[in-house]
Amino acid sequence: MSLQEEIIKTLGVKPTIDVNAEIRKRVDFLKDYVKKAGVKGLLIAISGGIDSAVAAGLCKKATDELTEETGEEYITLGVFQPYGEQADISDSYAVAEAFNLTHKVETNIQSAVNQIASIASVALSSIDGKTELTKGGLGNIKARTRMVTQYALAFELKLLVVGTDHGSEGITGFFTKWGDGAVDIEPLKTLNKRQIRQVAQKLGVPQSILAKAPTAGLWEGQTDEGELGISYDDNSDYLEGKKIAPEVQEKLEGIYKRTSHKRDGVPGV
């Protein structure tokens, strides 16, 4: 078995999908887990990007069906988490409107992030004289603070925190996991980025979001493809078993090997 075949098997990505079947499978997966966990619904942080938009659409469909089937109220809570002013926050609200999310809340993380950064900076200065965190270090605080806030809300409202991790992020370790805060359930896990786009179009994700460059929003101008130096087209081709340029394949497989700790459980002896 080649490394490419091994990676595809590990991540569970199919070469092609039946979009309607995939939507049905993932909605049923969410419904079954909500009932099994004995919770009141799902929480999804809506960034204004395509992944969280698709997850929001699946979550709302699942909780609407549960409410209709059981006669009890199940909710999908959409959480918007800007850091200060977010230029594309309107896209987050557009997702909520597209899927008729009646439960939504905005939690601005700027003050919390800045306070944590300040505390860390003081500690760093006592070690090596640094007075400011790096751009990446501040970005990590943003990601973790968002997760802490989501779990605070989920605990009080008895909801499951939904992740937006998928195969194209899994191969690069470019996602929220373990030290970044983790999540409770991942309905997109075995799709690649191209397939998520197919599902998005079927669900009715707003066109403005379909046209955006994927980003984690960790700093101004940051994009996934720019950060990784690999296009999502190449990434998706690889996960569908297709041939890509040798130098791109080598880079992608190198990243996969270096980020194994992001996919594995917490090690111990």
Catalytic residue list: 51, 169
Going across the sheet that includes 41-45, the strands are: 103-106, 75-80, 41-45, 159-161
Q: Are 62 and 43 in contact (CB under 8 A)?
A: no
How close are the terminal C-alpha atoms of the chain, in Å? 30
How many residues would you count in the chain? 269
C-alpha closest to that of 187 among 17, 65, 68, 44: 44
The CA distance from 123 to 84, in Å, is 25
Residue 171 one-letter amino acid: I
Question: In this structure, what token pair is assigned to residue 94?
Answer: 């557009």
Burial 94-125 (b: 16+ CB within 10 A, else e): bbbebbebebbeebbbeebbeebbeebbeeee
The CA distance from 29 to 24, in Å, is 8
Dihedral sign (CA 133, 147, 166, 18): negative
84: CB partners within 8 A, 6+ apart: 108, 110
Radius of gyration of the chain (CA): 19
